[in-house]
Amino acid sequence: MTKTPDVELILQARESTGLTRVAFCGGVAIMLSRPAPHREQPQDNEDAAGILRVGSTSGVLAVADGVGGIAGGGKASILAVEVALEFIRGRQDETTALRDLLVGALDAANAEVLGFNGAGATTITLAAVEDGTVRVCNVGDSEALVTGQRGRIKFRSTSHSPVGYAIEAGLLDANEALHHEERHVVSNTLGSTSMSLDIGAPVTLSTRDTLLLGSDGVFDNVLVDEIVQLARKGPADAAAEALARHASDRMAVAEDGQPSKPDDMTLILFRPGGR
C-alpha cells in the first residue's frame, strides 16, 4: 500500500447494535454486529469487526468470531482485529506487497492471541481493497463473498471446517451444508500453533458489485442464494439491515427445512459505487 496522510482505524463498538456507515475506497461500507438471542448484554457478543481506511482508494475490512466464551474468545476476537489492522496501518507507507502485509498481519495477530492470558481463540477474515481490486485472507469459518448486481458470485472464501472443505470439493451443496450435523465444527483458528491461512487471488470489483464479510452467525442462518439476493439489492444500509434481520429471524424460530443456529452475528457490506 502506498503512503498517504489519510489513515483511520474504525472499530465496531461491542455495546452497539446499530449500523456504522463509513466512506471507504470511493464507496461505502456498512458495519453491523449483534449478539446472539440468548445473550443478556450486547457486550457479551464474542464477534468483532473493524475498518482501516488508507487514503481514498485503499483499505482493509476485518471480521472475527471468538471461540471460548466472552473472557477468552470475546477478547481474542477484538485483539485479533486490532493487532491485524494496526500491523497494516503501521506499514502502509512501505512498498511491501499487499499479500505479504496480509500474511504478516495474521501472523502478528496469531502471536498476540497465543500470548494472551486466556483460553480463547478466534476466526478472522481480512479483505484488502486497493485500486478497484479485493484480496481476501481468512482463518476459520468467517467468510467473504463478492456478488455482482445480477447475482453472479464472483468470489467466495473457503470455510475452514469439515463442511466447508466438503463444499469446496464438490461433495456437499452449500445450502445442504447448513443442515449438516458438523456445521458448527471449526478446523482452524487464530490463537493456535498450527494456525494456517488461505489467501485468495485478487478479484476486480465493478462499481455495482457487493463485497460481504460475515461471521457464521450470518452464513449459517441464511442460504447462499438468499445472501446474494439480499446483499445486492437496494441501498447498502438497507441491504445490511435486511441480511441481519433475516439471520435474526432464522435464529429466533426454527422452521422445517430452514437453518436455525442462534449465534452472534457480524457483517461488513461494501459497495464500491457508494449506493
**What is the per-residue pLDDT for 69?**
74
Digit-coded pLDDT (tens) for 150-198: 999 999 998 766 565 556 666 566 665 555 455 555 668 898 888 889 8
Digit-coded pLDDT (tens) for 107-130: 999 999 999 866 789 999 999 999
pLDDT value at 73 more than 50: yes
Nearest to 61 by CA among 118, 146, 121: 146
Digit-coded pLDDT (tens) for 19-51: 999 999 999 999 999 999 888 787 889 999 999
Pick the CATH number of 7-271 from 3.60.40.10, 1.10.3210.50, 3.40.1360.10, 3.40.120.10: 3.60.40.10
Kindly indicate the confidence band of residue 86, based on its pLDDT and cuts at 50, 70 and 90: very high
What stretches of 83-139 adopt beta strand conformation (E)? Answer: 121-130, 133-139
Collapsing DSSP to helix, strand or coil, 122 comes out as strand
Kindly indicate the confidence band of residue 208, based on its pLDDT and cuts at 50, 70 and 90: very high
pLDDT, mean of residues 87-110: 88
Beta strands 27-34 and 20-24, pairing class: antiparallel
Which triple of cell numbers denotes residue 39? 445473550
